[in-house]
């Protein structure tokens, strides 16, 4: 920002000379910055024509005290919180909300636009009570390379113009990778929330994103001990790794409390839920599952068989709907297809389901936190604690594997599931405390 120039008029010069403290303050003032790094100094020399000498001295003394107080405060850290896809919004929501309790921090939300459909993006801002993003990059769709390049180009521009102290990325989507690379090349510190998770399957785009992001991050916020062990094995500095809990669970518990106070009849699916009574809840969107016709057909065959025993509620992802039509795959009439749902309505349905079937990483964690039986339709998971301590079963993607997992759940429903340490709804608070402490060192 260009510095303002203040020109003293001749008839004011004598007053300024008589009160040099004011003159010095007014020369220095325009370069002082406020918490948002905006220039806020203003010249007050003209006031000398209208004020008495005692009043001028008192004003100069007051200003000097105020400047000393400002200089003694801890500097405000500007953080860019990056979100681009559906899972990111539920992770940044508790971070943004909790940041309001830390006066040392100011957060700007950067929405990359990776999910550009209102049903898959704006709905979640509304659900989580997030404000309008400070920056919207409008990256839209495209191949991994095209989308990542769009995000990087747009993010570089806002980082160059409005340089933050930290860029905080969450999860493992393309936005996570793109923004961490840009920040690191601009010598801006990077904090990765959900660091250290590994599926050890490099055919998954998410595995590449999370591994590369961790390779260049400065702070690592870990949800479970497996993540901590992975980072240490990869040679990350131990003092930069922090086991803080899970912001996904922060959001889940916050939304669960809100849901308890809400009238369930406000949801369009409430009548279906009441009619079915006992049901399963399904999500399916991962490209490795729905873009491969053979695999998609195998999964659909298992789901149709399961629906003979229990009806399934399936809010279908736009990508899954597209591939279903392309491959001509049919679902049983007992699989109830719904449009994409907001977070609270989805929670309203799955919290009371007999079993959850999913290929989502986040839902594995959320079902574990509420001790809800979950069948993961994948060959691997980067969240092994949901298998070791939680309510999750890894079924694979074959028809027989999915059916075997389903029958295990249905015959072993009384198992006593555990909840991982620190999944208590306070992860965001711990994260900001670490950031503040790191900055003060």
What DSSP string describes 186-242? TT-EEEEETTT-----TTSHHHHHHHHHHHH-SEEEESSHHHHHHHHHTT--GGGEE
Over residues 126-135, the pLDDT tens digits come to 788 899 899 9
Q: How far is CA 99 from CA 87, 88, 297, 320, in A?
A: 19, 16, 45, 36
Task: State the Cα–Cα distance between residues 344 and 347, nearest whole angstrom.
Answer: 5
Domains (range + CATH), the chain: 10-72 (no CATH), 77-245+426-440 (3.40.50.2000), 261-411 (3.40.50.2000)
Tell me whether residue 285 is one of the annotated catalytic residues.
Answer: yes
Q: In terms of pLDDT, which residue wins out, 123 or 97? A: 97
Q: In terms of pLDDT, which residue wins out, 75 or 416? A: 416
The pLDDT-based confidence of 209 (bands split at 50, 70, 90) is very high
Task: State the Cα–Cα distance between residues 247 and 227, nearest whole angstrom.
Answer: 15
Over residues 398-411, the pLDDT tens digits come to 999 999 999 999 99
| Tokens of residue 194, six digits | 């959900």
Which one is catalytic: 44, 242, 254, 285?
Answer: 285
| Dihedral in degrees, nearest 10, Cα atoms 138, 144, 145, 148 | 40
Task: State the Cα–Cα distance between residues 55 and 114, nearest whole angstrom.
Answer: 57
Over residues 273-331, the pLDDT tens digits come to 999 999 999 999 999 999 999 999 999 999 999 999 999 999 999 999 999 999 999 99
Say whether pLDDT at 53 is over 70: no
Say whether pLDDT at 67 is over 90: no
Task: State the Cα–Cα distance between residues 255 and 374, nearest whole angstrom.
Answer: 20
Task: State the Cα–Cα distance between residues 32 and 437, nearest whole angstrom.
Answer: 25
Say whether pLDDT at 22 is over 60: no
Q: What is the pLDDT of residue 23?
A: 35
Q: In terms of pLDDT, which residue wins out, 115 or 364? A: 364
Task: State the Cα–Cα distance between residues 373 and 349, nearest whole angstrom.
Answer: 14
Q: What is the pLDDT of residue 126?
A: 77
């Amino acid at each position: 920002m260009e510095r303002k120039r203040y020109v003293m008029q001749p008839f004011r010069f004598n007053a300024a000379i008589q009160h040099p403290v004011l003159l010095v303050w007014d020369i220095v003032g325009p370069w002082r910055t406020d918490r948002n790094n905006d220039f806020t100094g203003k010249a007050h020399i003209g006031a000398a024509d209208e004020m008495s000498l005692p009043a001028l001295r008192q004003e100069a003394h007051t200003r000097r005290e105020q400047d000393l107080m400002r200089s003694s405060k801890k500097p405000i850290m500007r953080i860019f919180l990056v979100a681009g896809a559906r899972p990111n919004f539920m992770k940044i929501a508790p971070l943004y909300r909790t940041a309001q309790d830390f006066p040392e921090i100011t957060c700007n939300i950067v929405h990359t636009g990776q999910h550009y459909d209102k049903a898959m993006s704006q709905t979640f801002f509304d659900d989580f009570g997030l404000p309008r993003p400070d920056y919207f990059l409008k990256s839209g769709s495209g191949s991994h390379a095209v989308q990542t390049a769009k995000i990087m180009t747009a993010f570089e521009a806002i980082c160059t113009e409005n340089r933050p102290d930290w860029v905080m990325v969450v999860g493992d989507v393309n936005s996570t990778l793109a923004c961490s690379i840009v920040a690191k090349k601009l010598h801006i510190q990077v904090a990765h929330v959900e660091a250290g998770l590994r599926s050890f399957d490099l055919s998954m785009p998410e595995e590449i994103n999370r591994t590369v992001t961790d390779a260049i991050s400065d702070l690592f916020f870990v949800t479970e001990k497996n993540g901590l062990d992975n980072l240490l094995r990869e040679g990350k500095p131990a003092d930069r790794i922090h086991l803080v809990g899970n912001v996904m669970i922060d959001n889940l518990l916050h939304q669960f409390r809100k849901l308890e106070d809400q009238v369930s009849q406000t949801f369009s699916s409430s009548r279906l839920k009441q009619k079915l009574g006992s049901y399963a809840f399904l999500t399916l969107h991962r490209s490795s599952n729905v873009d491969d016709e053979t695999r998609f057909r195998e999964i659909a065959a298992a789901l149709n068989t399961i629906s003979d025993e229990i009806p399934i509620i399936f809010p279908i992802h736009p990508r899954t709907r597209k591939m279903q039509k392309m491959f001509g795959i049919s679902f049983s009439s007992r699989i109830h297809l719904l449009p994409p749902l907001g977070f609270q309505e989805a929670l309203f349905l799955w919290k009371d389901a007999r079993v959850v079937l999913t290929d989502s990483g986040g839902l594995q964690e959320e079902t574990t936190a509420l001790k809800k039986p979950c069948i993961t339709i994948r060959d691997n998971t980067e969240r092994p604690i949901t298998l070791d301590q939680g309510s999750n079963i890894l079924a694979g993607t074959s028809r027989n594997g999915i059916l075997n997992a389903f029958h295990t759940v249905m015959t072993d429903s009384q198992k006593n599931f555990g909840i991982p340490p620190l999944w208590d709804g306070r992860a965001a608070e711990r994260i900001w405390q670490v950031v503040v402490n790191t900055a003060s060192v």
